[in-house]
Structure 1
Amino acid sequence: MTSRELASLQQRWAAYQELPELTEHWYWRPGWRAGRQFYTWHLTFEHQPELHNLTTQLQSQLAMPGLDLVPLDGLHLTMQGLGFTDEVSDDDINAIVAEARRRCAGMPPLELSLGPVDPDAEGIGLLVRPWDRVEALRATIRSAIATVWASAPEPADNFRPHVTLAYSGAPVPTEPIRAQLAKLRHLPVAQVRISEVPLIALRREGRTYRWATVATVRLGE
């Protein structure tokens, strides 16, 4: 674990000890509404049995009031948004995907470790490491977008790779959750290998995120 990752994990855990209650995650962000979809690049984890086993083990201990558990087929790592599907043209999508495929072809697949648990006010996630590999992939996707548009949307800075296991569903006290997490912080991490990056159309269905894959960019082709 690099010094950046360790410092983040320690700082966030210390802050969580001082957090009196959760912040509900499910408020509507600007532009979002029921039924509206958003184009975004995510890493998804459909065929990762080691991660699924760890998630199942952790979630069996986190079925607690105030936490909405993420289904295994909803696990994701948010990478880079594009825009709402009713505002981005098919021509732009096709051009961005083609450029992303060209630029990512020379990048090797990602070998990542997920864990330990890494909570904050809006959810409980898994630390992802190494950050620099994910950051490099995100920078490549942003550069592909910037060849079609004047610049990539969303800030380049303050990106923290993570995979959420449970979202905060109500402003409940954190004390019992903290006590449970303290028992789970030293479980073995999960290893994953990522060889493709999907562009998805993301939507909210109740208290979970769902999506349809629009295009896929393979790494190392």
Structure 2
Amino acid sequence: MENAQSEVEEKSLSYTFPKEPPTDLRDPTKIAENDWSAFDSLTHMHSHWERPHWDSAHWMITFDDSPQVATLAQECQDGLSKSHLDLIDSNAFHLTVRRMAYWKDVSKSRVSNLFDSAAQQIAEIPEFSIDVFPLAGSTGAIRLSVSPWGPLFSVFDCATTLAGHRKRAAEIFRPHIGVAYNNRTRPAGPVVKEVAKLRSLLPVRCVVQKVDLVTLSRVGHAYQWTTIETVPLSITTDSGPEG
């Protein structure tokens, strides 16, 4: 499994966007500027669905208890041309943290053991707030920026170390919440201009209280998941944004 994992990690590097992280993981302005600068510099967008996919065990943050996230995402969707975009369903907005493994490469017992080990460390991370603000994109998607990144990096790195992954958060993790997937190769300029008009929408804040381990599948031009386990984060009296 180690060789297969290494190959997946190297492939993930090519999908990392922006290539470089912001200079300050706590500063929402620097995070937003870094995301936007990378998106604004694109000459072309490509189909998200050209990426290979196999059913996988994934760490994920969902927003069932934070309807304000879906409200903002749908407001962004309403301002986008639907041509060549596959909009994410209102009940499916999420923040992908880390792939644990492809099911084709690992047994259920191995996933269970990895979960037990990672859950102990993830559960020690205090619950935290993130600000979600519009709007940028990548080579294959339109997405919302989030801030701060520090607590999200902590979750990612707990899952990384215990699953035997080699790459740390700063190398390949760029937290975001998807709004729509691009489904064909096309010039980026018109899309960037359209997205730019939506960047004045006000941000929303939500509290992250848990992290889910899910089975993630791709069905047509959409992702679906089934929750395997949930890890509650440590309760704190102050869950405001921090690095």
Q: Into which bin does the TM-score normalised by the smaller protein fall? A: 0.7 to 0.9
Q: TM-score, normalised by structure 2?
A: 0.78
Following TM superposition, by how much is the alpha carbon of 1:72 offset from its aligned partner in structure 2, in angstroms? 2.0
Return the match for 2:177 from 149, 155, 163.
Answer: 163
2:118 corresponds to which residue? 100
1:95-131 C-alpha deviation (Å, 9 max, x unpaired): 2222222222322112111112121221111111101
**CA RMSD between the two structures:** 2.2
Following TM superposition, by how much is the alpha carbon of 1:171 offset from its aligned partner in structure 2, in angstroms? 1.8
Following TM superposition, by how much is the alpha carbon of 1:76 offset from its aligned partner in structure 2, in angstroms? 1.6
2:25 is aligned with 1:25: no
Following TM superposition, by how much is the alpha carbon of 1:21 offset from its aligned partner in structure 2, in angstroms? 3.1
2:220 is aligned with 1:206: yes
Following TM superposition, by how much is the alpha carbon of 1:208 offset from its aligned partner in structure 2, in angstroms? 0.8
Number of residue pairs matched by the alignment: 211
2:183 is aligned with 1:181: no
Report percent identity of matched pairs.
26
Return the match for 2:131 from 113, 122, 130.
Answer: 113
Which ranges in structure 2 are unaligned for 5 or more consecutive residues? Answer: 1-21, 236-243
SS in 2 for 1:62: coil
**In 1: Cα distance, 2:213 partner to 2:56 partner:** 10
1:138 corresponds to which residue? 156
Return the match for 1:48 from 46, 53, 66.
Answer: 66
Structure 1: which amino acid aligns with 2:212? P
**In 1: Cα distance, 2:156 partner to 2:185 partner:** 33
SS in 2 for 1:186: coil
- Asked if 2 retains the 8 angstrom alpha-carbon contact of 1:67 and 1:168, the reply is yes
Change in Cα spacing, 1:37 to 1:15, as seen in structure 2 (3 Å) is: closer
Return the match for 1:125 from 137, 143, 146.
Answer: 143
Return the match for 1:152 from 142, 165, 175.
Answer: 165
1:39 corresponds to which residue? 57
**In 1: Cα distance, 2:168 partner to 2:121 partner:** 20
Change in Cα spacing, 1:167 to 1:59, as seen in structure 2 (3 Å) is: same
